[in-house]
């Protein structure tokens, strides 16, 4: 069971995984060793999955976001496994979700420019059969982040 200090540690680490244990311990009013033990426990229990670096997409040359909505006529385990392998092999696809409703999947694709979407589209359809693909271009980023709420954690 997590307490308020654990939740605060998780919030702080989400904001900056590179923060020192000394600084963390000051912010949550714990000794450095107690803070370090809590972080280790949060990693061991799976609350902290990994620590990452977030890159600037403009500087990395992929400022454009396209969302591809996919319909398929196939729903077998074999097809889904093949689809997973295809999308895993394309680094521009940064998120993929299976959906309810009118579409089966949505892919978040980051690109140098919108015209590059055709390259990614062709990589996908050459490797796996799809029923329909439509794409929407993000015009403006209104909210972005990797942080999730910690209040619900147990």
pLDDT higher than threshold 90 for residue 21: yes
pLDDT recorded at residue 17: 94
Residue with the two structure tokens 């904001």: 15
Number of other residues whose CB lies within 10 A of the CB of residue 11: 16
Residue with the two structure tokens 């329909």: 132
| CATH no., domain 57-137 | 3.30.70.920
pLDDT: which is higher, 121 or 145: 121
| CATH no., domain 4-44 | 1.10.10.10
Question: What does the domain layout of the chain look like in residue ranges?
Answer: 4-44, 57-137
pLDDT recorded at residue 154: 87
Residue 80: pLDDT band by 50, 70, 90 thresholds?
A: very high
Q: What is the pTM of this model?
A: 0.89
pLDDT recorded at residue 2: 94
pLDDT higher than threshold 90 for residue 68: yes
Residue 59 β-bridge partners: none
């Amino acid at each position: 069971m997590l307490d308020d200090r654990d939740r605060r540690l998780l919030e702080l680490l989400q904001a900056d995984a590179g923060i020192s244990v000394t600084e963390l311990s000051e912010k949550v009013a714990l000794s450095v060793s107690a803070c370090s033990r809590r972080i280790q426990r949060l990693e061991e229990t799976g609350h902290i999955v990994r620590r990452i670096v977030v890159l600037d997409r403009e500087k990395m040359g992929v400022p454009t976001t396209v969302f591809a909505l996919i319909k398929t006529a196939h729903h077998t385990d074999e097809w889904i496994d093949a689809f997973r392998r295809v999308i895993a092999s394309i680094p521009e696809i940064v998120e993929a979700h299976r959906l309810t409703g009118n579409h089966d999947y949505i892919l978040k694709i980051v690109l140098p420019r919108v015209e590059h979407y055709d390259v990614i589209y062709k990589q996908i359809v050459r490797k796996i059969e799809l029923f329909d693909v439509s794409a929407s271009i993000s015009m403006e980023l209104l909210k972005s982040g990797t942080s999730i709420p910690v209040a619900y954690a147990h």
